[in-house]
Amino acid sequence: MVQYIFFESKYNSDSVKFRTETANILYNRKLTKTIGLISDGELQNWTKAALERINFEVVCNKTDSVNVVVNIENKIPTLTYTENNKMEKFTSIYDLINNLKYNSL
């Protein structure tokens, strides 16, 4: 119980909350743009979390004007990003996220 009180005191603010029931730290993010994500399983979870960390509202398994589609090609994940009828492929979530943070199509 003492540990919960410690975490609640350190992680409860307008931007961060600690949930004692699940022992999870939740971040209150200001989502600035919506993106569709077509994927499943573990890759969907990892890609969604990465996109949310850079303030995207992620809509899973539904297309939007901006999309990421994750496929496995020759045992390698391929993340295809589309926006404004332009498309770019990435072989890692890291590369996709860096592109979204610092570049545009």
What is the per-residue pLDDT for 84?
A: 87
What is the per-residue pLDDT for 53?
A: 86
H helix runs in 20-63, sequence order:
41-53
Q: How many domains does the chain have?
A: 2
Higher pLDDT, 28 or 85: 85
Whether residue 67 is found in the same domain as residue 46: yes
What is the per-residue pLDDT for 94?
A: 95
Whether residue 15 is found in the same domain as residue 52: no
CATH of the domain at 59: 3.30.160.150
- CA dist 97 and 17 (Å) reads 25
Q: How confident is the model at residue 7 (pLDDT cuts 50, 70, 90)?
A: low
Whether residue 78 is found in the same domain as residue 58: yes
Average pLDDT in the chain: 81
Classify residue 13 by burial, with Cβ atoms within 10 Å: 0-12, 13-18, 19+: exposed
Taking residues 74-102, report their average pLDDT: 92
Phi/psi at 39 (5° precision):
-170, -175
- CA dist 32 and 54 (Å) reads 9
The token duo for 31 is 């989502």
The pTM of the full predicted model, rounded to 2 decimals, is 0.72
Higher pLDDT, 20 or 102: 102
Residues of the chain above pLDDT 70, percent = 70
The domain in which residue 97 lies consists of 33-102
Whether residue 45 is found in the same domain as residue 96: yes
Whether residue 61 is found in the same domain as residue 78: yes
Q: Which long-range contacts (CB under 8 A, 24 or more apart) does 72-81 make?
A: 77/43, 79/47, 81/105
